[in-house]
Amino acid sequence: MTTCWQGLWAYRSYLIVLLLPIILLPLPILIPTKEAYCAYAIILMALFWCTEALPLAVTAFFPLFLFPLMGIMEASEVSTEYLKDTNILFIGGLIVAIAVEHWNLHKRIALRALLIIGVRPALLILGFMMVTAFLSMWISNTATTAMMVPIAHAVLEELQNTRMDSQGGSDNPTFELQDPSPQKEVTKLENGQITPAHSEPRAMKSKEEVRFSKGMSLCVAYSASIGGIATLTGTTPNLVMQGQMQSIFPENPNIINFASWFGFAFPTMVILLLLAWLWLQFLFLGFNFKKNFGIGDQGKEKKQAALQVIKIQHKLLGPMNFAEKAVTVLFVILVVLWFTREPGFFPGWGNLAFANSKGESMPSDGTVAMFISVILFIVPSKIPGLTQDPENPGKLQAPPALLTWKTVNEKMPWNIMLLLGAGFALAKGSEAQAICLHPLYIMLPCTLASSLAFMLPVATPPNAIVFSFGGLKVTDMARAGFLLNIIGVLVIMLAINTWSFHIFNMHTFPSWAQSNATQCFPSQPDHTTASP
């Protein structure tokens, strides 16, 4: 009997793939409508995604054949959903992020900011949170966490070594931060499974150091997730929502763009980041503010040791080279063009120079991202000149560009593009709307909430990465994340019911959403507003 169950478990993926479509067949057979057919496809895909019986990207292909075969959408309509403007923005934003990572610009920013903020316990946590949140606004949360966690652990190890030296231990050699070594590898998420990296035994830490280490690890993971909500390209759910807005409400006047999203989400991120810092400080450092903020001479040696680690790592980077400066300039240009294209409160360059018949900007945020991305493949990585090929000394060659397609191809998460496309196709196939409530009043909270998962290691890649470094238990993450989840919900409700109303004009049901309303019962007229 045991062997039988083991065999079934071994073949579970095959069984799920074969049985689920059959089990769900009564739905489209008994209710032969387009709505039931669409529900069948959505439920089937959701279950495949949850069980991961098939790779996530493979399941994303299902609308391409299910929707046309079931008569839900034409094949040509479904296909266009897989490469919308939002996907182009995703690709362009990631290419720029890859360039930033490739030339270590993100590490230079992180170390420089930590040198400015200082290394007092409370400020050290705040510094790591601010730097991590800022970086995750522009590059992926996963990459940000994978870079910041080793830096945090390097500082923590130096603090511990300083304590041991002061107690009569051996001399402490200068600690140099390396890429994750074989004995401490960053966890890779394969089919949702976490494989904790094992580390070599270390000297016993004091209870205070253990708590501080846990707080530092969690502050990096949480701030990566929080920072990602601030910009439209910061995390995938933001782009999914923008794409669904364009798909479900094609008449909307580009209401979700880089500038409007930043105006709404950045204050939300700042408030949530500060509250998270206060909660983590209380949970892992306690209420000893004099000690936490390093007032007086307490722990002076530790502060100097931690600062020395950061200084050494910053010094190892050397001066900024031509490639780093070029990427910095292009990155700044990209952000400026994003903010000024169609800000809404004043005419942007898109409205003035490239307007359509309605006065709206014809270029999109994706247009700008791809323009800068192409430039990265053109600008040389060194000051233009001829150098000798190291493999053929007698042969002259030009320096490589800032980015090569090989680098992009290795680091680009193409599977996420397919997931985005599947999401847009599902949204297109299942649109309907009848409650006369501004769509963003529902969509914005759902989008932000999907990024704020703090309780479990499997909830987000940043959580999984910090968990893999050791020192954390699931209970530690659950205890810290439970209240933070509640704080996140409260902050989102504050944002959606205050400044978002003015940014997105959510006081009334918009005309661009009425075209999708099959049956709409407007609310009673507002007698406080004058009639037109």
Is the pLDDT reported for residue 138 higher than 80? yes
Instruction: Give the pLDDT of residue 198.
Output: 41
Cα separation values, 96 from 16, 99, 122, 248, Å? 39, 5, 33, 29
Mean pLDDT across 366-389: 85
Nearest CA-CA partner of 251 in 368, 358, 367:
358
Write the pLDDT tens digit of every residue in 98-108.
888 888 888 88
Cα separation values, 171 from 29, 102, 203, 204, 205, Å? 76, 36, 14, 17, 18
Phi, psi of 421 (to 5 degrees): -60, -45
Q: Among 96-100, 296-300, 370-374, which stretch is predicted with the lowest mean pLDDT?
A: 296-300
What one-letter code names the amino acid at 304? Q
- What six digits make up the tokens of 148? 């910041």
Quick count: other Cβ atoms within 10 Å of Cβ 319?
6
- What six digits make up the tokens of 391? 């493999």
Output the pTM of the full model: 0.69
Q: How far is residue 243's CA from residue 250's CA, in Å, rounded to a whole number?
A: 10
Question: What 3-state DSSP class applies to 469?
Answer: coil
Question: What 3-state DSSP class applies to 67?
Answer: helix
247 CB burial (10 A radius; 0-12, 13-18, 19+): buried
Is the pLDDT reported for residue 522 higher than 60? no
Is the pLDDT reported for residue 403 higher than 60? yes
Q: Are 176 and 316 in contact (CB under 8 A)?
A: yes
Is the pLDDT reported for residue 417 higher than 50? yes
Beta strands at 387-388 and 396-397: parallel, antiparallel or unpaired: antiparallel
Mean pLDDT across 202-208: 63
Write the pLDDT tens digit of every residue in 449-469.
988 889 888 778 888 888 877
Mean pLDDT across 240-253: 83
Write the pLDDT tens digit of every residue in 53-80.
888 889 989 999 999 999 988 999 899 8
State percent of the chain over pLDDT 90: 23
**Average pLDDT over the chain, rounded to an integer:** 79
Q: Checking phi first, is residue 384 left (phi over 0); if not, alpha (psi -120 to 50) or beta?
A: beta
Write the pLDDT tens digit of every residue in 82-124.
888 878 888 888 888 888 888 888 888 878 877 887 767 778 8
Q: How far is residue 48's CA from residue 26's CA, in Å, rounded to a whole number?
A: 18
Instruction: Give the pLDDT of residue 190.
Output: 40
- The segment with the largest mean pLDDT, out of 1-5, 23-27, 46-50, 418-422, is 23-27
Nearest CA-CA partner of 143 in 112, 178, 99, 184:
99
Is the pLDDT reported for residue 434 higher than 70? no
